[in-house]
Chains A and B, each alone.
Chain A
């Protein structure tokens, strides 16, 4: 079997995105895949692998609407498949991307369509009502140590966002105004992105006026749940120049798990992103100072802080002052989340950060373009599992 030394991203696309679109997982997936193939100038016959990730694809009206990669491949006309995977649990879109990159590098496939579908209820009121209708809930195993206290019920905000954020404040002196500076910065970037759902600039005072979800995490620290699908097509190096646009190269990638979700023997603010980042830099001759733009998963604000520190854009514990000084703003030292992040473009579970990196390195970003962007890094997920990819322009 012939291995492929290099892998490139050659097509990207989104579905229609919004709340209560009425679209199910299938419609969203087909829209995004079609858009990515159109972006690349590809037909299904050019593709031989499909990777997607189960998780929050569903429930659609009437029940779960989970898509198998084999079914998606067949339905799109990508048949037979040389390789496919539906990975869950894994660190969201980067899990799909890293596995697709690995499949191409190892020679199982030459061109892989990766898809992230999100189709979830947007209202915690609905979730609460349904839980109430179900009656007393029995939880098993490790969840028994948290759920009875109200950890991780109806979302992970208290445990994966608020606990590390509170500790970041107590240990490093990070302030709520510094969390706000990040939120304000990415909203400014969103104001320059026609596809963002929130585009009106805000101030730190606006941020501080937003209600808390779980202190110190405020509503504006949380990504925005939407119905969406995102697709990216990766291909082997010898095919990278066969398509409509310039390829964007995978320079290096890393994928990490330190353990599964719990609180033992792990520094909540120096978890798997630090391991993934260390591995990433060991797999390339490029250095952190070579990076022109960073797209760092913002499921919650604290995660961006952790990635800035993990990747070495600033020192441990110094993301707050680093952001407050304007370093992550367009025109700053390392423009970060130039599409506005998932808080503003809608929840994509990391795929928007890959797509924004590709578009920045192609020079397609218009008002929010980082001048002469040649190296971009994108990172996804948090805590005990994560992944990060370094990309370069052609």
Chain B
């Protein structure tokens, strides 16, 4: 791998990897199967993300993972131009953003964003796409829905 920046250690083969955690495991297990599942309160229906053991809305302890459609709108985004980790040194510029899911207003997922910068704007409809980032890491990204450019 050619590292333009000359920074020793740059070009690591993997980005930071989500570690195993009992509260979060269902999410990563689903992503591995190319599904998006969020913890949902079985009392009031609120999607609780990031996962927590109690619903912050109604304080129900009855929460269970449920599949979501993977469609939403772009809440905000940024084109990152400076890497803060060796993996990203040869990935810049890359886009990250926050996606509000169609299932519930206010529930948002941070994610990598694909697509041309000119197609991105706050409020743009987006859909999930799963990418094999490394041999052992699948991540959901979002991209503008076809024909949704401003």
- Residues of chain A at the chain B interface (Cβ within 8 Å): 124-125, 127-133, 135-155, 157-159, 162-167, 170-171, 211-217, 262-265, 268
Contacts and interface: CB of A to CB of B under 8 A. Distances in A.
A166 B139 contact: no
A141 B85 contact: no
B84 A170 contact: no
B147 interface: no
Most buried by A among B50, B108, B109: B50
Contacts of B19: 138-141, 144
Nearest to B52: A142
B55 interface: no
Contact of B86 (A128, A155, A262): A128
A131 B85 contact: yes
Contact of A124 (B28, B82, B97): B82
B80 A145 contact: no
Contact of B17 (A125, A136, A141, A262): A136
Contacts, number: 170
Contact of A213 (B18, B75, B81): B81
B24 to A, nearest CB: 6
A348 to B, nearest CB: 22
16 contacts: A128-B7, A131-B9, A132-B10, A136-B13, A139-B18, A140-B21, A145-B50, A147-B85, A148-B16, A150-B80, A150-B88, A153-B15, A264-B108, A265-B106, A265-B108, A268-B75
Nearest to B46: A265
Q: How large is the interface on B (under 10, 10 to 19, 20 to 34, 35 or more residues)?
A: 35 or more
Contacts of B110: 145-146, 149, 151, 159, 262-263
Given A139-B16, A214-B79, A132 B49 contact: no
Which of B28, B49, B85, B108 has the largest count of A CB atoms less than 10 A from its CB? B85
Contacts of A155: 84
Given A141-B21, A144-B21, A149-B96, A166 B78 contact: yes
B111 interface: yes
Interface string B68-89: 0000000111111111111111
Which of A154, A164, A264 has most chain B Cβ within 10 Å?
Answer: A264
B115 interface: no
B118 to A, nearest CB: 13
A124 B84 contact: yes
B18 A144 contact: yes
Contact of B15 (A148, A213, A215): A148
Given A153-B88, A263-B98, A268-B76, A171 B122 contact: yes
B122 A148 contact: no
A326 B67 CA distance: 51
Contacts of B111: 149
Contacts of B112: 149-150
